[in-house]
């Protein structure tokens, strides 16, 4: 089977070389590496050009968004297996070797994902254990005798946002993705959101919806390292401007997943209710940050069914702080606590 690695880059001059080098350091080399520069304004282009003799380079002149970027790379790819890497993350040396062994053993596996660890901006390991780690530990590793049962749990977790890492961990068989239909679905349901959405969740949700008999395999080995710096990690937004940008990305991503559940997977009522609640929660935050307190309370009430008691307490605190002291004071305090 032929392999294609797709690396997406936007203003990642400080990290992209380490990401690309981690692919060239693999014990099993890919057949092609496609790097997409999504209109970077820093020196990413200059650094990518050092690899031109070994990669396929797609250089977009303007920033279109990571989802359009990855779709353009898939369109250009020729591999049977597509593996994805964010331009600020790093792969472990045996990533391709371990993943391809699973595809070779199991023809009914359409996607493979695996475990990960956090690193800081200087590639030093972090001891962080997040909710995704905890959920993956609850699911347990797939194995050759039990991967089909695990697959159904993994699908539910992905569609419910319970915590399965995609991003730089997941890979797919190219033949399970009808790219034309996927693009049409995005355009029909929310063309204005394509450039705002994350790339992985809508893509994987569509693959799950259109390949119900195929399976997902989780390999409980650390095969990539997720880099945390600045405001690139969830929950680390420290200003009103970046909060609205994060909300736009999250809303677009959840919206597409919700539409797929409603239109393509109507039997998945549980996941549909969870994503409907997630949309209401994101709408609540937009109203809250926008100064529309009464409307925010209504949205929070709509979202309550999908929220844990702990989350309801957290949001009650956030609402009271912003309603009393305003957005500026809230984000100033948040920056202080995260510093």
Q: Which residues contact 285 (CB under 8 A, 6 or more apart)?
A: 243, 247, 296
At 199, the pLDDT band (50, 70, 90 cuts) reads: very high
Query: Average pLDDT of 168-179?
Result: 98
Query: What are the structure tokens assigned to 251, written together?
Result: 């809303």
- Check residue 125 and report its DSSP letter: B
Angle between helices 200-210 and 66-76 (to 10 degrees): 60
Which of 21-35, 266-280, 323-337 is least confident? 323-337
Q: How far apart are CA 229 and CA 288, in angstroms?
A: 26
Per-residue pLDDT at 335: 75
**Res 235 pLDDT > 60:** no
**Res 27 pLDDT > 60:** yes
Considering only CA atoms, which of 78, 101, 89 is closest in space to residue 165? 89
Sort residue 119 into left (φ over 0), alpha (ψ -120 to 50) or beta.
Answer: beta
Over residues 107-163, the pLDDT tens digits come to 999 999 999 999 999 999 999 888 888 888 888 766 666 899 899 999 999 999 888
Residue 110 — φ and ψ, nearest 5°? -95, -20
Q: How far apart are CA 44 and CA 11, in angstroms?
A: 6
- Check residue 319 and report its DSSP letter: H
**Res 178 pLDDT > 60:** yes
Residue 70 — φ and ψ, nearest 5°? -70, -35
Per-residue pLDDT at 305: 80
Considering only CA atoms, which of 117, 10, 24, 128 is closest in space to residue 69? 10
Per-residue pLDDT at 165: 86
Mean pLDDT for all residues in the chain? 93
Q: Bridge-partner residues for 113, per DSSP?
A: 218
CB 279 within 8 A of CB 285: no
Q: Which residue segments constitute the domains of the chain, with CATH numbers given?
A: 3-227 (3.90.550.10), 240-338 (no CATH)
Q: Bridge-partner residues for 82, per DSSP?
A: 4, 172
CB 38 within 8 A of CB 64: yes
Per-residue pLDDT at 82: 98
Query: Average pLDDT of 18-33?
Result: 98
Per-residue pLDDT at 144: 67
Q: How far apart are CA 257 and CA 56, in angstroms?
A: 30
Q: In what order do the strands lie in the sheet with 81-86?
A: 56-60, 32-38, 3-9, 81-86, 171-173, 109-119, 215-227, 90-91
Q: Which residues contact 229 (CB under 8 A, 6 or more apart)?
A: 88, 120, 121
3-state secondary structure of 95: helix
Model's pTM, two decimal places? Answer: 0.92
Q: How far apart are CA 321 and CA 313, in angstroms?
A: 12
The C-alpha torsion from 149 through 153 and 154 to 156, rounded to 10°, is: 140
**Res 164 pLDDT > 90:** no
Considering only CA atoms, which of 17, 73, 77 is closest in space to residue 44? 17
Kindly provide the residue ranges of all beta strands, DSSP E only, lying in 228-304, ordered along the sequence: none
């Amino acid at each position: 089977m032929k392999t294609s690695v797709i690396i997406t880059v936007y203003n990642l001059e400080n990290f992209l070389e380490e990401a690309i080098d981690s692919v060239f350091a693999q014990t099993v080399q890919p057949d092609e590496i496609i790097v997409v520069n999504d209109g970077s304004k820093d020196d990413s282009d200059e650094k990518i050009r050092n690899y031109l003799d070994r990669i396929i380079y797609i250089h977009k002149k303007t920033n279109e968004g990571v989802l359009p970027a990855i779709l353009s790379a898939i369109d250009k790819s020729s591999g049977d297996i597509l593996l994805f890497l964010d331009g600020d993350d790093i792969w472990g040396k045996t990533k391709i070797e371990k993943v391809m062994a699973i595809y070779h053993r199991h023809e009914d596996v359409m996607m493979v994902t695996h475990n990960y660890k956090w690193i800081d901006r200087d590639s030093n390991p972090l001891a962080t254990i997040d909710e995704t780690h905890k959920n993956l530990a609850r699911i347990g590793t797939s194995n050759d005798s039990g991967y089909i049962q695990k697959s159904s749990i993994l699908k539910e977790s992905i569609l419910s946002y319970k915590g399965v890492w995609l991003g730089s961990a997941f890979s797919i068989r190219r033949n399970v993705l009808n790219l034309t239909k996927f693009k049409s679905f995005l355009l029909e349901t929310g063309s204005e959101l394509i450039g705002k959405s994350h790339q992985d969740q809508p893509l994987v949700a569509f693959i799950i919806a259109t390949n119900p008999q195929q399976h997902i395999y989780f390999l409980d080995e650390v095969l990539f390292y997720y880099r945390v710096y600045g405001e690139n990690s969830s929950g680390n937004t420290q200003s009103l401007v970046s909060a609205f940008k994060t909300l736009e990305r999250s809303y677009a991503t959840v919206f597409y997943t919700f539409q797929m559940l409603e239109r393509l997977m109507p039997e998945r009522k549980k996941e549909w209710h969870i994503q409907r609640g997630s949309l209401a929660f994101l709408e609540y935050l937009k109203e809250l940050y926008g100064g529309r307190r009464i409307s925010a309370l209504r949205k929070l009430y709509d979202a309550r069914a999908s929220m844990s008691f702990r989350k309801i307490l957290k949001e009650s605190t956030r609402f009271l702080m912003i309603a009393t002291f305003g957005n500026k004071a809230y984000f100033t305090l948040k920056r202080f606590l995260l510093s």
